[in-house]
Amino acid sequence: MREATRTVRIAAAQTPEFLDDVPGAFACLLQVAEQARARGAALLCFPEGFLQGYLTEADDARRVAFDLGGPRFADLLSQMPEHAPMIVVGLIEADGEDLYNTAAVIHRRAVVGRYRKRHLLGRERCFRAGEEAATYVVEGLRFGINICFDTNFASAARSVAEQGASLLLCPANNMLPTPAAIAWRDRHNEVRGERCRETGLWLMSADVTGARDGLVGWGPTAVLTPDGEVAAQLPLDAPGLLVFDLPAVALRA
């Protein structure tokens, strides 16, 4: 087999927060997926907990959780555009009695994989920690997933790199109290950049933006190079779609 190099177009959605509003979130997903498709993206990432919102009270989370193999989620899949990019979307998942903070990998109206957040914050006690970190391939690009707080742990990114991936996706939800948002405004990329330098991975994050009840979301939604430098980033204070041509990715032809 010979080695070939080319670019793969990837995209990340910076969105409003849809808190307990699945219809609103799904309408946004469809709109953004069409925009990404029209711009030629092969892969599209949405924020952490995007579909139901970042709900961490057990009763609220269980009420809105999706069984990825159940009829409610099958109905959503059936409404997705057949030729959309591969989509990675954050959601609250129910698997029997367990709840997970999950990123579902969706392609051609089917769930082709899922990643369950492995490193949970104290306020995420309603969730069970995930145990696996698979990788996925689209147009020859191999990628893996870390969800938000996971990127504080070198082992989480390393488990993706060790499987031969070139890209780490980071669905995030940094709707934070204003003082914390100010303190972390520039630190998110610094921490994620450390993971890039340690592993040689590219990284693309997708986050929420907006404000409510003393909280503010500033992302960032960005692409970082293997050197940990910011290659592209959306403005912090408005929704948008970041589209980036990942250069010189090694592919098997």
The residue to which tokens 């147009």 are assigned: 139
| Tokens 């959309």, residue located | 84
Give DSSP secondary structure letters for 186-198.
THHHHHHHHHHHH
Report whether 246 contacts 44 (CB < 8 A): no
Give every CB contact of residue 132 below 8 A, 6+ residues apart in sequence.
115, 116
pLDDT single digits (tens) 164-221: 999 999 999 999 989 988 888 889 999 999 999 999 999 999 999 999 989 999 889 9
Mean pLDDT of 141-158: 97
Mean pLDDT of 120-130: 96
Q: What is the pLDDT of residue 252?
A: 44
Enclosing H/E stretch for 232: strand 230-233
How far is it, in rounded angstroms, from Cα 10 to Cα 135? 16
Per the prediction, the chain carries an average pLDDT of 93
- Helices 187-199 and 154-161, packing angle to 10 deg: 40
pTM for the full predicted model: 0.94
CA distance 108 to 20: 26
- Domain-by-domain residue ranges, the chain? 3-252
Chain-centroid distance of CA 58 in Å reads 22
Report pLDDT digits (tens) over 136-145: 999 999 999 9
Q: 3-252 belongs to which CATH class?
A: alpha beta
Does pLDDT of 66 surpass 80?
Answer: yes
All residues at 6 or more sequence positions from 123 whose CB lies less than 8 Å from its CB, including other chains: 56
3-class DSSP state for residue 71?
helix
